[in-house]
Amino acid sequence: MVWRPSFFSTSGRVVYSISSALGSITVDISGLTPPIIWRLISSAYRAGYSEIMITGIGSGKNTVYSAFSYNTIEYLKENWKNSISTFDMSPMETVSAVVNRLVGMEIIEQKPNYCLVKDLSEVSDREFENALRRIFALLQTEAENIEEGLAGKAEGLKSIHIVDTNLGRFEDFCFRVLNKKGYTTLRKTNTVHPLIFTLEMIGDEMKKIALHILNDKGRYTEMTKALFNTQKLQMERFQKMFYKFDKQLAVEIYRADAEGTQQATKFYKKLNDDEKELLHHMKKIGIYILSPVELRIDMEF
């Protein structure tokens, strides 16, 4: 049995108390806001615990639960002071929302002030590989939708929250498998873990670009389209390189990154403010892509 230290809130109250490694864990959510509740539960899931006892739920002000999703939590996180009196979301509603997107987890017991969440699935290497392929496919979907959005066809971007939610589900599942079982080649686990995390950050930047296009509804120049196309192609190159290692692809990715940086510098002053905001996120994607390339090279040794 491996014991880990408990985590304490600022008041000294235990937030995490561990019964046994990867067995059961208690998460106390007393008085916490939806974004923190979400992160605590999903972190326990990622860590690999088979049972999560959630205590301190409380009743909240809602008598009937309303439709709730992570998008609502994101809104609350950004506008908490202004929106708390309007939404007054129930803690149990938050718990239910996060558990619904955790692959294999189900609420098997529920009482007024606590609930027990349990893993009812079997984790396999094949499931991990399938989940990772889904991450790549969803990132590709996001990139294609953004490309269409920049061309004035934003219909695909309207489902960005659904795509992002599915990305999160598969990313959480991959982290869980890595923490519970490790990667197929065990010694490579510590390399694959940050690789998944970097793909998660790329997805976050894609989502920000998509939301900006939806909210701005402006027209974008060919320069902006070319800058984004550079990053879309970089993602495609990395996916090929991940599944079939090729040193020349690595060379191509680094060359394209340097050329993209030169493009961005050349076009910057000609872009409007909205396009400059998009460029900010594109540059972050470009930086993030180089990290998994390096990690993939590490996996060869």
Instruction: Spell out the domain ranges in the chain.
Output: 7-119, 125-298
268-280 in b/e burial notation, b at 16+ Cβ within 10 A? eeebeebbeebbe
- The tens-digit pLDDT sequence of the chain (301 residues) is 333 434 444 444 545 444 445 789 999 999 898 889 999 999 999 999 999 999 998 765 544 444 444 454 554 444 433 433 334 567 888 899 899 889 989 999 998 889 999 998 877 778 899 999 999 999 999 999 999 999 988 888 888 888 988 999 999 999 999 998 899 899 999 999 999 999 999 999 999 999 999 888 778 999 999 999 999 999 999 999 999 999 999 999 999 999 999 999 999 999 998 899 999 999 999 999 999 999 999 999 9
What is residue 123's predicted lDDT score, i.e. its pLDDT?
A: 73
Question: The domain 125-298: what is its CATH number?
Answer: 1.20.58.220
- In this prediction the pTM is 0.79
Centre a 10 Å sphere on the Cβ of residue 71 and count the other Cβ atoms it contains. Answer: 14
What is residue 75's predicted lDDT score, i.e. its pLDDT?
A: 43
